[in-house]
Amino acid sequence: MTSKFLISTYGCQLNEHDSERIAGQLVGRGMEATANPEEADVVIFNTCTVRENADTKFYAHLGHLKTLREQNPNLVIAVGGCMAQAQGGAIMDRVSHVDLVFGTHNVGDVANLVDEVRANGKLVAVPDAPAPSGGDLDEALTAVRALPFAAWVTLQTGCNNTCAYCIVPDVRGPEVSRPFAHVIEEVEELARRGVTEVTFLGQNVNSYGRDLTGRSPLFAELLRAAGTVEGISRIRYTSPHPKDLRPEVLAAMAETNAVCEQLHLPLQSGSNRILTAMRRGYTAERYLEKIEAARTLIPDLAVTTDLIVGFPGETEEDFVATLEVAAEADWDSAFTFIFSPREGTRAAAMVDDFIDPEVVAERFARLVAVVERSALRRHEARVGRTEEVLVLGPSKTDPTMTSGRTRQGKLVHFSAPPTAQAAGTYVTATIHHGARHHLLGTYQELVAAPRHRRSIPLAVR
């Protein structure tokens, strides 16, 4: 009987792609993926530690597995990712039915660690730093992608920035870039397998390659090179850091047809005083200048952002500055977060400056109202336009409708004939309604049929 595994993922796209890499290792050992924990012989939690609610959700799900362990004593329960890197063996102390804890530097060795647990019992494997490596091309090419027509491609691991609220440099280490040729070779192989959309991943993608060259980054050159790969129709990337967004990257976006008209540029705060306290390395004015430069070079650019409300010491004046920048930036959408202290960061030690939760909640609601007004306005402005849409499949809320995304990353729901409903299909749709978080369209024509292979189930929390 074939052994089965389940991977449950929390957090960012980097974690999602790490889970795909782990799945590739286990499939290579002859295992099969399942979405049902009762069928699984191995359950892996790939965790996040950016926000406190991620910890809470994780421990709740982990607790539910105690009954399954009682039913199946041979079940291997593993915890990996950023929380595992930060907490190590403390996870086993808190939850006794965990068998394996592995850190962010062990992702390439998970299958071997599972074998070791089966042979020798419980194991904590959380090294302080990654082992020296010339790149992870072989592992990347064996990753089992959750979406067969779209793929994450990791450019770098770690981060060299020192943002006061962020734990990532501690749990993922300093920036290490993959070799340029390995990245392009992976993109070429993905295209041969039928992938048509790639998203480059890194904590600060626009610093990619600086450690390889000892001088300027290679990200602009990478965008141009990937744009020449036959079969790749769309290229996206996340996330750039505003202080490092260079003119040559914007030029590469404007001049490379495959690069989508989408830019995710995290602001975090509109107050220069708070940006300094956050150690972000730019001002609100400089941020707005970069958005203006991007929109000037790249027609029809969609710009999105991240915002934190309630950073320690944030005054009403600071918050109003964020509202003012939000109104001027006129983002297509924004991910808004309430500050969550993470142990080990500078911000977590600013206890005397923490903001009253009721004040933070009120500010959060005001900010959401501003950014959603911008989103609605920009979506309504697309009514009457005919968009290229990459089909994702049936709508999650109305299975009679088909859902997809435009080149700007906007979600579109539309009614399509059976020949245009398969995930990975490219179609055109004319927009007839704009809402805050989606568009409604009318199907026009089929552009291209899917070229991909099948996928396996990977659970994302």
Under CATH, domain 386-448 is a member of which superfamily?
Nucleic acid-binding proteins (2.40.50.140)
How far is Cα 306 from Cα 302, in angstroms, rounded to an integer? 14
How far is Cα 210 from Cα 175, in angstroms, rounded to an integer? 9
Side chain identity at residue 434, one-letter code: G
Side chain identity at residue 221, one-letter code: E
The fold for domain 262-381 equals Transcription Regulator spoIIAA (3.30.750)
With beta carbons less than 8 A apart as the criterion, state whether 288 and 329 touch: yes
How far is Cα 349 from Cα 343, in angstroms, rounded to an integer? 8
Residues in the chain predicted with pLDDT less than 70, given as ranges, are 50-54, 129-136, 453-461
Angle formed by the axes of helices 219-226 and 247-255, to 10°? Answer: 10
How far is Cα 391 from Cα 233, in angstroms, rounded to an integer? 13
Could you check whether 147-260 and 262-381 share the same CATH topology?
yes
With beta carbons less than 8 A apart as the criterion, state whether 138 and 157 touch: no
Listing DSSP states for 85-131 in one string gives HHHTTHHHHH-TT--EEE-GGGGGGHHHHHHHHHHH--EEE--SSPP
Which residues contact residue 31 at a Cβ distance below 8 angstroms, ignoring those fewer than 6 apart? 2, 3, 4, 5, 41, 42
How far is Cα 234 from Cα 385, in angstroms, rounded to an integer? 20
pTM: 0.90
β-pair partners for 235: 198, 259
pLDDT for residue 105: 86
How far is Cα 110 from Cα 13, in angstroms, rounded to an integer? 19
Which residues contact residue 315 at a Cβ distance below 8 angstroms, ignoring those fewer than 6 apart? none
> Is 4-125 a domain of CATH 3.40.50.12160?
yes
pLDDT for residue 40: 94
Phi/psi at 267 (5° precision): -90, -50
The hierarchical CATH code for the domain 147-260 is 3.30.750.210
- The ranges assigned to domains in the chain are 4-125, 147-260, 262-381, 386-448
pLDDT for residue 255: 98
Return the H-helix or E-strand segment holding 447: strand 439-448
pLDDT for residue 137: 73
Q: How far is CA 189 from CA 196, 198, 228, in A?
A: 11, 12, 13
